[in-house]
Amino acid sequence: MTATAPPILQADGLVRSYRLPQGLFQPPAMIHAVNGLSLQLAPGESLGLVGESGCGKSTVGRLLIGLDRPDAGSVIFDGEALPAIGDIRWRRLRMRIQMVFQDPLAALDTRLTIGAQIAEPLEIHGLGSKSEREGRVNALLTDVGLRTDHLGRFPLELSGGQRQRAVLARALATDPDLIVCDEPVSALDVSIQAQVVNLLHELQERRRMAMIFISHDLRVVRLISDRIAVMYLGTIVEEGSSEAVLLDPLHPYTRALVSAVPRPGRHRSRTILQGDPPNPAARPSGCAFHPRCPVALPLCARFAPELKSAPDGRRVACHLIGDLGAELDKER
């Protein structure tokens, strides 16, 4: 984010937990999906939110656009606290914030034509006359690479890639300032993924809208993101420019993720993490990553590291980064 541009989106200290029924005579477990997460997004900026499945990425996405409410913390959009659904301000802000979900078929109504569904946001918000809305829908189809003859088709008559393009056209109908994409290509064939990612990147830059791209795949995220935030068990462990995070990861978990991404023509050692990710209902004490961390210290099990600024400007939550890490390097 540039120093001169105020953030279009700011989240501070987000916490979200869910009760999970355990059985007839057992108390429900508390799933800690998001634990004190903070981030900022500048106008026109793209942020990739990455991490393993179950780390809380999708929950963060829903919190950021108001589809879910945090137990603690706040979300500020363009200087205004995000209102609850049903609040009179919600409808006005909803025009400016849109979301693209993972499964395009689930996001579309199989009983309505593609044209009707793209036009629906324009009708709901009373944007333009009927003829103006028709022209807008045709222009949106062209923008996302669909033909006008797709207007009269139903979702089941389209391929997966075409459905996701239609979902994207609907999300862009109100000309939003922010779009949140939750695993938008993971349900598509590999041959189609690159097409949709390239389309998203082109539209985001041309329209100068801010975007949060949620994915577990670093190969996809690096193609579309100005910055990357790496999540582990409900918290951000590293955040910085895409180039810095991918070329010189600082957090041990980020190093493991980056080492798993194949690079043609390059050989590098793979960091193998031991064990499975901890259960969110039984979050480890201290640093949540310490049971799997290859360089964990005794203090990592006792104290959770803060997300602090590194010398190059990125933020990292690790005891080994900063003053303590420098002291340990001297001792070695």
Could you write out the DSSP letters of every residue in 256-324?
Answer: HHHHTS--TT------PPPSPPPPGGGPPSSSTTTTT-TT--GGGGT-PPP-EE-TTS-EE--TTSSHH
Report the pLDDT value the prediction gives residue 158, as an integer from 0 to 100.
93
Whether the CB-CB separation of 118 and 173 falls below 8 Å is answered with yes
User: Residue 4: what pLDDT?
Assistant: 64
**Cβ partners under 8 Å of residue 128, min gap 6:** 122, 136
Report d(CA 33, CA 250) in Å as an integer. Answer: 24
Distance, CA of 27 to CA of 21 (rounded, Å): 7
> According to the model, what pLDDT value does residue 304 have?
93
Per-position pLDDT tens, the chain of length 332: 444 678 999 999 999 999 888 777 778 888 889 999 999 999 999 999 999 888 999 999 999 999 999 999 999 999 999 887 777 788 788 889 999 998 999 999 999 999 999 999 999 888 889 999 999 999 999 999 999 999 999 999 999 999 999 999 999 999 999 999 999 988 788 878 888 888 999 999 999 999 999 999 898 899 899 999 999 999 999 999 999 999 999 999 999 999 888 766 566 667 777 777 778 888 889 999 999 999 999 999 999 999 999 888 899 999 998 655 444 444 44
Contact 77, 63 (CB under 8 A): no
> Which positions ≥6 away from 1 have C-beta within 8 Å?
7, 40, 41, 42, 45, 227
DSSP characters for 96-148? TEEEE-S-HHHHS-TTS-HHHHHHHHHHHTT-S-HHHHHHHHHHHHHHTT--G
> 0.75 exceeded by the pTM?
yes
Bridge-based pairing state of the strands 210-215 and 46-50: parallel
Q: Are 16 and 71 in contact (CB under 8 A)?
A: yes
Cα separation of 332 and 315, whole Å? 25
| DSSP 8-state assignment for residue 7 | P
CB 178 within 8 A of CB 7: no
Classify the C-alpha dihedral 161-108-53-221 as positive or negative: positive
In this predicted structure, what is the pLDDT of residue 268? 62
Q: How far apart are CA 68 and CA 62, in angstroms?
A: 5
Report pLDDT for 273: 78
Inter-helix orientation angle 160-172/114-124, to 10°: 20
- pLDDT at residue 280 in the model: 81
* CA–CA separation, 85 and 67 (whole Å): 7
Cβ(14)–Cβ(37) below 8 Å: yes
Its sign, for the CA torsion 212, 218, 222, 223, is negative
Rounded CA Rg of the chain: 21
Give residues with Cβ within 8 angstroms of 277, minimum separation 6: 52, 54, 55, 232, 233, 292
